[in-house]
Amino acid sequence: MATVPKVDVGTDYKEKYGFFVPEDFVFKAKRGLNPEIVKEISWMKKEPEWMLKFRLRSLEIFRKKPMPKWGADLSVIDFENIFYYLKASDRQSKTWEDLPPDIKATYDRLGVPEAERKFLAGVSAQYESEVVYHSLQESLTKKGVIFTDTDSALRDHPELFKEYFGTVIPPADNKFSALNSAVWSGGSFIYVPKGVHVEVPLQAYFRINAENMGQFERTLIICDEGSFVHYIEGCTAPIYTTDSLHSAVVEIIVKRNARCRYTTIQNWSTNVFNLVTKRALAYGDATMEWVDGNLGSQITMKYPSVYLMEPGAKGDVLSVAFAGKGQHQDAGGKMIHVAPNTTSTITSKSISKGGGRTSYRGHIKMYPDAKNSKSFVKCDALLLDDDSRSDTYPYNDVDAENVTLGHEATVSKVSDEQLFYLMSRGITRSEAETMIVNGFIEPFTKELPLEYAVELNRLIQLEMEGSVG
């Protein structure tokens, strides 16, 4: 039995009024947020009614919730001046000439291929990697793995979708999850069947198009019992967008004995507010690993979390944030221990330069049942000059007995001794500084697939050039 409700707004229109979407129809993009926009989005996507209701309810929640005041300053976001849904054809209207010179220069220096940079810049809607994607899809399909965009998943796998969607992060979780729930578009959907190990990392890159790179993407990953998947989102090249708000929701369910790793490398252009809710549920003896790298953006607020639901569940967050001039990276992690014998670690590395600001914000919660659980938090901040700033906000909330909770925080500067040592071997000051920074984030880099690690190191090098020692 399909769970698609009988009343579907899109099909209803067609049947009752003979209304249909001609191929050359162009959705008229409008700024601002109201129920009409939300209805239009849902209608454009021909969604089932339950999704429309979900969206409208989420919009109400978004409107009622106050702006969070505990973190970065978000008061400058003007919600009425944002496009909440753009078709690929609208996004494409930009031309290469419209791009800011610094973005172009970075593509050049990173050696990003032509087709790819046009896509990243929003000039082209499709990144030409179809061949790779199709052969991968074939082998995945054989194993019963579903890897598609979230809109297609709603259409093609309605029951599976409805069972899990919105269950990890309900719209009412926070203001921005409510916003995303109201206007979401694109994102990835992955289902890995019982016992299946996906050997190659799945990358959004393979099947990416402009819609998936949207501001309000929605990702849902379900790892069935005993399965494994590594998902990689983003890339190190800067993603240029004129839209100033990126607010994604990522929901992950890791069932018994399964393991999921979710790697993010993002480098938004510096006008972007990057406000993302990421959460995973880990069941018995399951492992959830967030590997999260944040560069770019004006403000990032992101705290990947793991709810450790059953005994033996394990959660890891490993994150790096780089804040340059005018940037505030407010990042960290949350570990919610619900069951006994659960373990978690959060390792946060932050680099501030040129007056940039990084904050570590973390929450460890141990419910009364979480006895014999362990959590360890380590945050290291590296300041590259006296104008930059780093803060730590750890919140620990322990209601269980026999638990171990460790917290270690360091703030350091690039030391004169290290610089002198490297320079005494003929290495220039700027290269030595870059080496020290790359060395500092090495615990993160070594967890990345090689090509990402190499790109990240090059990117750090670009960020470092011109910095005052």
CB neighbour class for 26 (10 Å; exposed up to 12, middle 13-18, buried from 19)? exposed
Cβ distance 390 to 381 under 8 Å?
yes
Residue 316 amino acid letter: D
The 433-462 contact track toward other proteins, x by CB under 8 A, reads: --xx-xxxxxx-------------------
Interface residue with other proteins, options 22, 66, 426, 466 (CB under 8 A): 426
Interface residue with other proteins, options 3, 429, 454, 468 (CB under 8 A): 429
How near is the Cβ of 351 to other proteins at its closest, in Å? 12
466 touching other proteins, by CB under 8 A: no
Cβ distance 149 to 212 under 8 Å?
yes
Q: Which stretch binds other proteins (CB under 8 A): 39-47, 51-59, 175-183, 430-438?
A: 430-438
Interface residue with other proteins, options 420, 451, 465, 468 (CB under 8 A): 420
Name 296's Cβ contacts closer than 8 Å, sequence gap at least 6: 238, 239, 266, 267, 268, 269, 270, 272, 327
Q: Please identify, using beta-carbon distances, which residue of 35 and 439 lies nearer to other proteins.
A: 439
Q: Please identify, using beta-carbon distances, which residue of 52 and 112 lies nearer to other proteins.
A: 112
Question: How many whole angstroms separate alpha carbon 348 and alpha carbon 377?
Answer: 8
Task: Report the chain's C-alpha Rg in angstroms.
Answer: 22
Secondary structure element (H or E) that encloses residue 135, with its range:
helix 130-143
Q: Please identify, using beta-carbon distances, which residue of 36 and 465 lies nearer to other proteins.
A: 465
Residue 243 amino acid letter: D
How near is the Cβ of 325 to other proteins at its closest, in Å? 24
Question: How many whole angstroms separate alpha carbon 147 and alpha carbon 137?
Answer: 8
Interface residue with other proteins, options 421, 451, 454, 468 (CB under 8 A): 421
CB-CB neighbours of 349 under 10 Å: 24
Q: Please identify, using beta-carbon distances, which residue of 292 and 433 lies nearer to other proteins.
A: 433
Q: Please identify, using beta-carbon distances, which residue of 156 and 408 lies nearer to other proteins.
A: 408
The 172-201 contact track toward other proteins, x by CB under 8 A, reads: ------------------------------
Q: Please identify, using beta-carbon distances, which residue of 403 and 422 lies nearer to other proteins.
A: 422
Cβ distance 205 to 175 under 8 Å?
no
How near is the Cβ of 101 to other proteins at its closest, in Å? 22
**Angle at CA 306, nearest 5°, toward 65 and 363?**
65
Interface residue with other proteins, options 9, 56, 411, 423 (CB under 8 A): 423
Cβ distance 344 to 307 under 8 Å?
no
432 touching other proteins, by CB under 8 A: yes
How near is the Cβ of 108 to other proteins at its closest, in Å? 14
Q: Please identify, using beta-carbon distances, which residue of 80 and 417 lies nearer to other proteins.
A: 417
424 touching other proteins, by CB under 8 A: yes
467 touching other proteins, by CB under 8 A: no
CA 312 from centre of chain: 26
Cβ distance 384 to 357 under 8 Å?
no
Interface residue with other proteins, options 172, 411, 427, 462 (CB under 8 A): 427
CA end-to-end distance (rounded Å), the chain: 65
What are the φ/ψ torsions at residue 187 (nearest 5 degrees)?
A: 105, 180
Cβ distance 278 to 301 under 8 Å?
no
Binding residues for other proteins restricted to 360-419, rule: CB under 8 A? 416-418
Cβ distance 8 to 56 under 8 Å?
no
Among candidates 281, 341, 339, which has minimal Cα distance to 310? Answer: 339
Q: Please identify, using beta-carbon distances, which residue of 305 and 445 lies nearer to other proteins.
A: 445
Q: Please identify, using beta-carbon distances, which residue of 160 and 423 lies nearer to other proteins.
A: 423
Handedness of CA 194, 200, 206, 210 (dihedral sign): positive
How near is the Cβ of 439 to other proteins at its closest, in Å? 3
How near is the Cβ of 429 to other proteins at its closest, in Å? 7
Q: Please identify, using beta-carbon distances, which residue of 297 and 350 lies nearer to other proteins.
A: 350
In the numeric block, which tokens belong to residue 252? 């992950």
How near is the Cβ of 453 to other proteins at its closest, in Å? 12
Question: How many whole angstroms separate alpha carbon 437 and alpha carbon 442?
Answer: 9
How near is the Cβ of 360 to other proteins at its closest, in Å? 19
How near is the Cβ of 362 to other proteins at its closest, in Å? 22
Residues that bind other proteins (CB under 8 A): 416-418, 420-429, 431-432, 435-436, 438-443
